[in-house]
Amino acid sequence: MTATTQSAAEPAHPLNSVATQEFVTFTIADQLFGIPVLKVQDVLSSYQITRIPLAPPEVMGSLNLRGRVVTAIDMRARLGLPARDDDGESMSIVAEHDGELYSLVVDGVGEVLALSAKTFDRNPPTLGAKFRAVSDGIYRLDGQLLVVLDVNRLLDYGRAVVAAN
Amino acid sequence: MDDLLSEFLTETSEGLAVLDVELVQLEQNPNDQELLSNIFRYMHTIKGTCGFLGLPRLESVAHAGENILGKFRDGDLEVTPKAVSLILECLDTIRTILEYLEANESEPEGEDSDLIARLNAYAEHGESAVGEAAPETEAEPEETGEVVAFDDAAAEDQPVEEFEAADEPVAEEVPEAVAMAPVPEKKPAQAANSEAKIEAKSGGDSSVANQSIRVNVELLENLMTMVSEMVLTRNQLLQILRGQKDSEFTAPLQRLNHVVSELQEGVMKTRMQPIGNAWAKLPRIIRDLSIELDKKIDLVMKGAETELDRQVLELIKDPLTHMVRNSADHGLETTAGRIEAGKPETGKVVLKAYHEGGHIVISISDDGRGLPIDVIKNKIITNGLATEAELETMSEQQIQRFIFKAGFSTASSVTSVSGRGVGMDVVRTNIEKIGGTVELNSTEGKGTAFIIKIPLTLAIVSALIVECAGDRFAIPQLSVLELVRASVHSENTIERINNTPVLRLRNRLLPLVNLRDLMKLNAPDEIEDPAAETENKSVSQTNTDQDGDIESGEGFIVVSQVGSYSFGIIVDRVFDTEEIVVKPVARIMRDNQMFSGNTILGDGSVVMILDPNGIAAANGEVELAEESGDTTSDRHASQNEETVAMLVFRVAGDNPKAVPLGLIARLEEIELDKVENSNGQNVVQYRGQLMPLVTMEGTGELKTEGRQPVLVFTDRDRTMGLVVDEIVDIVEERLNIELTSKSVGYVGSAVIDGRATDVLDVAHYLTLAFHDWFGGEASDSFGDEEASRLLLVDDSPFFRNLLQPLLSVAGYEVSCSASASEALQRCEAGEKFDVIVSDIEMPGMSGFEFAEAVKKESNWSNVPMVALSSFATQKDLDRGRAVGFIDYVAKSDREALLGALHEALSEIRGAA
C-alpha cells in the first residue's frame, strides 16, 4: 500500500512555476479587478434578481441560473464602496464557492488577460482593510493596476460575518 | 432475527464472495500487496465482528485463516496455490457455519480443530508443514469437498426457500449435509424471508436474485435531483402553455406532463424504504436495556412496512432510537414499581407507524409512569425557564412540553442509557428540521405517548405561494391550516390591540403577524412607488375604522400551526399551491430561521420558502408565544365557562325574556287561525301530531289571527310549543343570574346584552303542557324502582336551579351542593347517592380534583360520576375519564345528561 503511493507525491507542481496566469477582468467603481479564469463559471448580463428579505446588505437577492439558485452579491457593498449613482447596466460573474453558486454583481466585465508573474506585487500594507481582506495582490498593467480577488475569501461568509460583527 | 446478526451475515457473505475472487487473483499475482492487504482486511473484519457478536467457533476459524494471511502480508510466507486452497477451505467452513447461523441464529455444535490445526501448522512451518500434514489433507479434501458441494447448492438455493425441495436430493447424498439438513427446513418465519431477500441480492445465482439489483445510493440521489429539476422544467413549460391559446405544443406537453409525473413517482419509490429499517436495531437496544435496568420490557412494533423516503428515514432514525430508549428508561417504572402501581410486570413500549394524508405518523407510547408534573415544575423553576407564577397559569400539557426545551432532562440521575446529551430538544429540532411535528400526551401514572408527524418526502413539497409587497414567498402546505380572507366588510376583520393585529376566528383570538413587517418589506424601496405608499398607509393603520384602506382591512391570512400554537400570517395575495423542490438557502442566509429554503417556481423565478417554525420563533420566543397563546385561550375559555347561548325573546311587554338555546328544539311560526282547542288546552297540528301550546303568564288569550313565533320543546315523542311575541336574538354570554325567582315560571333574571332579562324556567312550562311530562319518562326509565338519589355539584346557582327541577321531574331525588368541598362534607357525613353530577370549572376544588377525591373516599368510590361542563375538548374528555368520570356532558344538553345518567345507573344496576 505505502509503496504505491510514494511515487506520486513529490514532483513540483507545474502550475506553481508558471509565468503567466489568466484572469477575467472587471471594473467596480472604475477600479480594475481580476479573478482567475478557472474560478469563473459564467458571465451574465442583466438578470432578474429576487430580493431576499432580511439578508445582509451585500446580498442583492437570488436568481435562477439554469435551474440552480444563485446568490447575487453586490460587490460594491461587499467592498464597502458607495452604491452606483448612474443607471448603467450591471453585469455579474458567477463563481462557485463551497458547493454553492454566487453571482458577483460588478459594473462591467472586461476581457480575459494573461498576466505575467513579473508584474505581480503583494498588497501594499497601506491598502484598506476591506480590500486587503479579499485581495491576493496587485498586477501592474500599462496605465492601471489590477487587484486580484480571492473568491474563497470573498465568499467565506462565516468569517466575513464574524468580522463584520 | 437479531438485526446485528443479520447485518453481519449479509456483510460477511458479501465479504466471502469478494474473498473468493480476490484469493484467486492473488494466486495469480502473488506479489500484489494491495490485493493482499485487502484480503487481509476482509478476514480481519470477519474475525473482529465474530468476537464482538460472541461467535467463538467462527472466530477461531477466521483467526487461523487471518494468521496465514498476516504472514503473507509480512512476507514470512509465500503465496502458493496450496496455501490459497487452504484458505479457501477455511472460507468454506466459515460459510457453512454462517448458513447454520442464519437458520438457527446460533453457531453449530462441534469444532474445527482439525482445520485450525492445519491452518496453524501452515502458518508456523509454511510449505513444509503441508508435507507433514499431507496424509491428513489428502483424506480431507473429499470430505470438505462434499461439504463445499452442499454449501454451494445451499448458497444458491437456501436463500429462496421455495427451492428447498429441489435441494433435498443433494442433501441426501452428502452425509455431512444431512447433519446440516435442518438448515433449510427450519423456517425462522419472517426473519428468514427478509434474510432471503438480502441473500438473493448478493447471491446473483438464483433467478430471484436477478429481479433486484443493488444501486449506489448516490446514483439514486442524483436521479432524484434530476427528476426534481425535470419537474420544475415541466412546470415552467406548463406555465408558458397556460399563457398561450391553441398551441401545437399542448398535446405533447400533456404527454410529457404525465410521463414526468410517473417518472417522479417511480424515482421516489426507489427511495422509499420501510420504516422498519430504522427500527431494526430497537429490539436489541430494548433487550439490552431491560437487562441493564432490570426491567421487563415488551417492545411492540406495528406498521414496520410503512414506507418513507430514505432521506427522511435517515433523519428520523436517531430521534426515534432516542425516544424509544427514553420511554424504556425514564418512561417505564422498575418491575417493583410496576407491581406496586398495580400494573403488569412487563412494561410495554409501543411503536406504531402509519400513513395519514401525505404524512407518516409515528407514535411511541409506553404504559409507564407518565411525566411527573411536579418534577418538571421544579426543574423548570431551578433552570429558570419560567417562574412559579407563570407555571400556575399553564396547563399540564404546556408544562410537559418543557421537556422539549434545551438542557432539560427529567431523569435525576444520568444512567448509561440516557443523559448522553441528546435531549428531547435535539429530538424536536431534528424532527422540525424535516418539517415534522412532535406532540406529547402524558398522564401521570398511566404512560406517555409521543406523536411524530413527518412528511413522506423532503425533496418535493407542496407549497402555497403568497405575495407580500410585490415579493412572492412559498409556505409549505403542511403547516397551513386554512386561509381566511379578511376585509372590513366581511365578518373577518383584522382588529388591533395596541397596534398588534389579531383576528377573531371561531371564538378564538388568533394572533397575527404581518409578513410585511416580519420581512421588513416596508423599508424604503425606491424601486416601487406603491411600496412607499403602503408604508404611509401602514403608519396610519392604527384606526381600523378607516374605510377603503387596503392595508388596514383587506388581505389574506394564512393560518398556520406550529406544534399547538396557531397564528395567522397576513399576506397581500394568495396564488396557487405548487409542487416545489426545496433547495437549501445560501450559507450566508442560513442563520435566518425565517426561511427553510428556496425554490424555483414554474415561471423560473426564485422564491424563498418561509419556515413557520422560524416565524413563530422570531415572533417572540416560540415557547413563550406558544404558552402564552395557549394560556390566553385557556383563560379565555375558563372565563367563558358559564357562557351559554340564550335565546332572547319578548312576550307580554318590553321586558326581554331568555331561555337556554340548548333546551329548544326548533323555532316555528304558527298561523293562529289553525289553533284549536282540545280539552281546555290550545293545540296545533304540528308534524302530524297535536302540539299543546302554552302561553306565558300574563299574556292572556291568544289572538285569533295572524302569525306568531313559537318555541318548540321536544322530548321523545312529545312536543310542546311556547307562544311568544317576538324572537329577538341569540346571545352568547356569561350569565350572572340574580336569583329572584319569586314569580312562577322564571328561574331568575340576568343581564343579557346589557338588559335585565328574565330567564325562563322551562321545566315549569313543560309540566304545564303535560302534567306527566317527566313523570312518565321516569317510570319508563326505571320502572318501579325507587327514585335514584342524585347529587348535583355546581357552583353556579343558575345551573343548579335549571337542572334541579329538570332532574327531579326526570325522576331523580336531587340534592345540590354549591362546591366540591361541600359535597365532600356530605360524603363524610355518610350521605348516600346513586349518581353524582359534577361541574368541572368550579372555584376552589375543580371537578377533576373532586372526582379524584371521591374515588379515593371509600364511601362514594363506587358511585358513578358524570361530568358537566360548558367547555369540552378532547383533552378534557380524556382527563375526565382518567379521574373517574364515566361520561362528560355539555351543560344545557339535557338529552345527553339524562342519557348519560340513565346509562350510568343501568350499568350499576346491571352489575348489581
Which segment of B29-38, B373-382, B771-780 scores lowest on mean pLDDT?
B771-780
Q: Give bridge partners of residue B790 from the DSSP assignment.
A: B814, B835
Q: What is the phi/psi pair of residue B345, to 5°? A: -55, -40
In this predicted structure, the answer to whether residue B126 has a pLDDT above a threshold of 60 is yes
* A56 contacts on B by Cβ (under 8 Å): 588
The residue ranking higher by pLDDT, B147 or B79, is: B79
Predicted confidence (pLDDT) per residue in B42-62, tens digit: 887 887 777 777 788 888 888
Q: What is the phi/psi pair of residue B561, to 5°? A: -130, 130
Question: How many other β-carbons are positioned within 10 Å of the β-carbon of residue B686?
Answer: 19
Domain B469-620 belongs to what architecture? Beta Barrel (2.40)
* B591 contacts on A by Cβ (under 8 Å): 161
Q: What is the phi/psi pair of residue A6, to 5°? A: -60, -40
In this predicted structure, the answer to whether residue B775 has a pLDDT above a threshold of 70 is no
Helix B424-433 / helix B310-326 crossing angle, nearest 10 deg: 160
Residue B568's SS3 state is strand
In this predicted structure, the answer to whether residue B652 has a pLDDT above a threshold of 80 is no
- The whole-number average pLDDT for the span B311-333 is 82
Q: Find which of B444-453, B807-816, B826-835 is predicted with most confidence, using mean pLDDT.
A: B444-453
C-alpha cell at B54: 460472541
Q: Report percent pLDDT > 70 for chain A.
A: 82
Give CA separation, B347 vs A40, B3, B343, B360, B434, in Å. 63, 22, 8, 26, 31
**DSSP assignment letter at B405:** S
Predicted confidence (pLDDT) per residue in B227-267, tens digit: 877 887 887 788 788 888 788 888 888 889 889 888 888 88
In this predicted structure, the answer to whether residue B468 has a pLDDT above a threshold of 60 is yes
pLDDT score for B139 = 38
- The whole-number average pLDDT for the span B796-809 is 69
Predicted confidence (pLDDT) per residue in A144-162, tens digit: 899 999 988 888 765 544 4
pLDDT score for A93 = 93
- Taking CA–CA distances from A161, the nearest residue in chain B reads B588
- Round the CA-based radius of gyration of chain A to a whole number and report it: 18
Which sequence spans correspond to the domains of chain B?
Answer: 3-211, 217-274, 276-455, 469-620, 640-769, 773-911
Spatial separation of the C-alpha atoms in residues B332 and B450, rounded to whole Å: 14
> Between chains, do A67 and B606 touch, taking CB under 8 Å as contact?
no
- The whole-number average pLDDT for the span B4-22 is 77
**DSSP assignment letter at B95:** H
Distance from CA of A44 to the nearest CA of B (A): 16
In this predicted structure, the answer to whether residue B466 has a pLDDT above a threshold of 90 is yes
Which sequence spans correspond to the domains of chain A?
Answer: 21-164
pLDDT score for B406 = 65
- The whole-number average pLDDT for the span B384-396 is 79
- The whole-number average pLDDT for the span B119-124 is 82
pLDDT score for B522 = 64
Q: Do B469-620 and B276-455 have the same topology in CATH?
A: no
Say what the ipTM of the complex is.
Answer: 0.77
Which segment of B17-21, B541-545, B729-733, B902-906 scores lowest on mean pLDDT?
B541-545
* Contact yes or no for B166/B157 (Cβ under 8 A): yes
Spatial separation of the C-alpha atoms in residues B711 and B441, rounded to whole Å: 44
Picking from A1, A52, A98, the nearest residue to B587 by CB comes out as A98
**CB of B521 within 8 Å of any CB in chain A?**
yes
Which residue from B409, B424, B433 is spatially nearest to B323, judged by alpha carbons? Answer: B424
C-alpha cell at A76: 460594491
* Contact yes or no for B601/B608 (Cβ under 8 A): no
Spatial separation of the C-alpha atoms in residues B386 and B393, rounded to whole Å: 11
Give CA separation, B658 vs B585, B731, B736, B755, in Å. 60, 9, 13, 11
Question: How many other β-carbons are positioned within 10 Å of the β-carbon of residue A20?
Answer: 12
- The whole-number average pLDDT for the span B464-491 is 85
Angle at B894 between CA B889 and CA B899, to 5 degrees: 70
Which residue from B362, B360, B361, B336 is spatially nearest to B347, judged by alpha carbons? Answer: B336
Distance from CA of B589 to the nearest CA of A (A): 6
Superfamily (CATH H level) for B640-769: CheA-289, Domain 4 (2.40.50.180)
Label residue B666 by pLDDT band (50, 70, 90): confident
Spatial separation of the C-alpha atoms in residues B595 and B539, rounded to whole Å: 27
The residue ranking higher by pLDDT, B315 or B406, is: B315
In this predicted structure, the answer to whether residue A23 has a pLDDT above a threshold of 90 is yes
Q: Which listed CATH number (3.40.630.30, 2.60.40.10, 1.10.10.410, 3.30.565.10) goes with B276-455?
A: 3.30.565.10
Q: Which listed CATH number (2.40.40.20, 1.20.120.160, 2.60.220.30, 2.60.40.10) goes with B3-211?
A: 1.20.120.160
* A54 contacts on B by Cβ (under 8 Å): 519-520, 592, 594
Which segment of B103-117, B727-741, B757-771 scores lowest on mean pLDDT?
B727-741
Q: Report percent pLDDT > 90 for chain B.
A: 2
The DSSP line for B336-362 is HHHHHTT--SSEEEEEEEEEETTEEEE
Give CA separation, B318 vs B142, B400, B422, B426, in Å. 50, 22, 10, 10
* B599 contacts on A by Cβ (under 8 Å): 69
Q: Which of A52, A68, A97 to mutate to test the interface with B (most CBs of B within 10 A)?
A: A52
Which residue from A95, A52, A92 is spatially nearest to A74, judged by alpha carbons? Answer: A92
Which segment of A102-116, B3-17, B504-518 scores lowest on mean pLDDT?
B3-17
Amino acid of residue B795: D
| Edge-to-edge strand list for the sheet holding B865-869 | B812-817, B788-793, B835-839, B865-869, B885-890
Residue B561's SS3 state is strand
**DSSP assignment letter at A12:** P
> Between chains, do B471 and A53 touch, taking CB under 8 Å as contact?
yes
The residue ranking higher by pLDDT, A86 or B514, is: B514
**DSSP assignment letter at A39:** G
**DSSP assignment letter at B328:** I
Handedness of CA B103, B106, B108, B114 (dihedral sign): positive
How far from each other are the two terminal CA atoms of chain A, in whole angstroms?
48
Label residue B32 by pLDDT band (50, 70, 90): confident
What CATH number has the domain spanning A21-164?
2.40.50.180
Predicted confidence (pLDDT) per residue in A9-21, tens digit: 444 444 444 578 8
pLDDT score for B772 = 56
What CATH number has the domain spanning B773-911?
3.40.50.2300
Question: How many other β-carbons are positioned within 10 Å of the β-carbon of residue A132?
Answer: 12
Q: Which of B588, B589, B591 to mutate to test the interface with A (most CBs of A within 10 A)?
A: B588
pLDDT score for A109 = 92
Predicted confidence (pLDDT) per residue in B868-900, tens digit: 776 566 677 777 778 878 787 776 566 677 778
3-state SS string over B713-758? Answer: EEECCEEEEEECCEEEEEEEEECCEECCCCCCCEEEEEEECCEEEE
The residue ranking higher by pLDDT, B571 or B708, is: B571
Distance from CA of A139 to the nearest CA of B (A): 30
**CB of B34 within 8 Å of any CB in chain A?**
yes
* Contact yes or no for B311/B242 (Cβ under 8 A): no
Spatial separation of the C-alpha atoms in residues B349 and B320, rounded to whole Å: 12
In this predicted structure, the answer to whether residue B631 has a pLDDT above a threshold of 70 is no
Predicted confidence (pLDDT) per residue in B538-587, tens digit: 433 333 333 333 444 578 899 988 766 788 999 988 988 887 877 777 77
Spatial separation of the C-alpha atoms in residues B821 and B828, rounded to whole Å: 10
The residue ranking higher by pLDDT, B784 or B762, is: B762
Q: Which of B228, B232, B519, B587 to mutate to test the interface with A (most CBs of A within 10 A)?
A: B587
Spatial separation of the C-alpha atoms in residues A40 and B255, rounded to whole Å: 38
Spatial separation of the C-alpha atoms in residues A77 and B506, rounded to whole Å: 49
The residue ranking higher by pLDDT, B750 or B188, is: B750
Spatial separation of the C-alpha atoms in residues B707 and A85, rounded to whole Å: 80
The DSSP line for B771-815 is TTHHHHHHHHHHTTSPPEEEEEE-S-HHHHHHHHHHHHHTTEEEE
In this predicted structure, the answer to whether residue B856 has a pLDDT above a threshold of 90 is no
Give CA separation, B404 vs B316, B425, B431, B437, B592, in Å. 16, 4, 11, 12, 21
Distance from CA of A116 to the nearest CA of B (A): 35
In 3-state terms chain B splits into helix, strand, coil percentages (rounded to 5) of: 50, 25, 25
Mean pLDDT across chain B, nearest whole number? Answer: 72
pLDDT score for A128 = 84
